[in-house]
Amino acid sequence: MIILVLNCGSSSIKFQLRDLSREAPLATGLVSEIGSPRAHFQWESRAGRWDDAAPDLSYREGLQRLLAAISSGEQRVIPSLAALDAVGHRVVHGGERFSDATLISDEVIAAIEAVSDLAPLHNPANLLGIEVCRELLPNTPQVAVFDTAFHQTLPAHAYLYALPYELYERHGVRRYGFHGTSHRYVTERAAALLGRTGRFISLHLGNGCSIAAVREGRSVDTSMGLTPLEGLVMGTRSGDIDPALVTFIAAKEGISASEVERLLNKQSGLLGLSQSTSDMRLLLEGAAAGDGACQRAVDLFCYRARKYIGAYAAAMGGVDALIFTGGIGENAPPIRATIVQGLEFLGISLDETANRDGKVRGQIHGPAATVPVLVIPTNEEGVIAEDTRRIVERC
């Protein structure tokens, strides 16, 4: 089965074309800065790599160009668009309605639209990709795979906020959690590697960061909340703050609540703390060179993650495996080492040599550790493709 996996953002389209009989994707690519003079179409396959300027490319034109690239000309990787068996769409927010992937219909689109106010930066773009694909590929099944679905197993004491209960009843105000596809994948891989399941803590650390407590394959707590802003320190997001800071900052800076929300989402986190960059590689280089602002950002990032590990170990009555994934989690040994410092009381420690090996994939815990620590590259696109196949075959 050949599946096109799409991750549609407000000004970008990430894609993978996957033949599920093969491990590696047939093609991967990105349409970036859609609608601007700097719009680009980049993609690669076994036939080569391309990076073409496409000034002022529209969303519809971007998807048209993507489909033409994979199915026509000398660079094509499938004989025609008729060879596509399905399209799998990443959808960030499914609310309480969706606990699994689903075949897209008019009713499903309406349900996604109904919760778009919970993810105003993501769901409208996801829907735009769905609508254009339905127009361009009217006879190809389309499947929605939700970031929030994996966390629908959270118990009420983990997902409710201590607010008037009618706000939950009227508006769905609760913790939903995100990165569910990634947390699900790496905890399933960890169970396969260890030959058992149990109480797993999964850290997805990238530009966006979240941590999940997963017991026997079910998410029981997670750091992101109603929106992806809550929880860990991230590239440009603040993570946890005192809620009163919103009105305090608005009054002191003379800005609106929506402008404060933008500050918390786009100007905070590692970028705000360092006052220079959200790139962890540059922050580590700066910290090593004695830059105090870079060190401050790294220290706070690691401290917040360590604190959550302790909280989730307490919530589950212990921990049977700790998993690092995401761009930072997979590729920043100093961050992994700093996060686990002081967690020996939980049975967590690292093998310094294994942790320093940039190519390591698998177990990196030390000989005295009683809790396995694993580095597992995430594969959200692979999960979306497999979920898409499962839903299409079931329907």
Has residue 117 been placed in a domain?
yes
Has residue 212 been placed in a domain?
yes
Q: Distance between CA atoms of 359 and 362, rounded to whole angstroms? A: 10
Q: 53 and 123 share a domain?
A: yes
Q: How far is CA 149 from CA 53, 69, 101, in A?
A: 36, 32, 8
pLDDT tens-place string over residues 158-180: 999 999 999 999 999 999 999 99
Q: 219 and 368 share a domain?
A: yes
Among the listed residues 51, 56, 147, 242, the single catalytic one is 147
Q: 222 and 74 share a domain?
A: no
Q: 233 and 370 share a domain?
A: yes
Q: What is the CATH number of the domain that holds 219?
A: 3.30.420.40
Question: In this predicted structure, which of 54-68, 194-208, 341-355 has the lowest mean pLDDT?
Answer: 54-68
Q: Distance between CA atoms of 374 and 361, rounded to whole angstroms? A: 8
Q: Which domain holds residue 120?
A: 2-146
Is 36 in contact with 43 (CB distance < 8 Å)? Answer: no
Question: In this predicted structure, which of 92-106, 303-317, 355-369 has the lowest mean pLDDT?
Answer: 355-369
Has residue 258 been placed in a domain?
no
Enclosing H/E stretch for 211: strand 209-215
User: Can you tell me the mean pLDDT for 357-383?
Assistant: 88
Using DSSP, state whether 166 is helix, strand or coil: helix
Q: 114 and 223 share a domain?
A: no
Q: 221 and 125 share a domain?
A: no
Has residue 110 been placed in a domain?
yes
Q: 141 and 211 share a domain?
A: no
**pLDDT score, position 132:** 93
At residue 361 the predicted structure's pLDDT band, cuts being 50, 70 and 90, is: low
Has residue 17 been placed in a domain?
yes
**pLDDT score, position 359:** 55
Has residue 104 been placed in a domain?
yes
Domain termination residue (choose one: 146, 176, 207):
146
Q: 346 and 203 share a domain?
A: yes
Q: 141 and 199 share a domain?
A: no
147 a catalytic residue? yes
Has residue 344 been placed in a domain?
yes
Q: 210 and 138 share a domain?
A: no
Q: 214 and 288 share a domain?
A: yes
User: Can you tell me the mean pLDDT for 120-144?
Assistant: 93
Q: 208 and 331 share a domain?
A: yes
Domain termination residue (choose one: 79, 112, 146):
146
- In the chain, the number of structural domains is 2
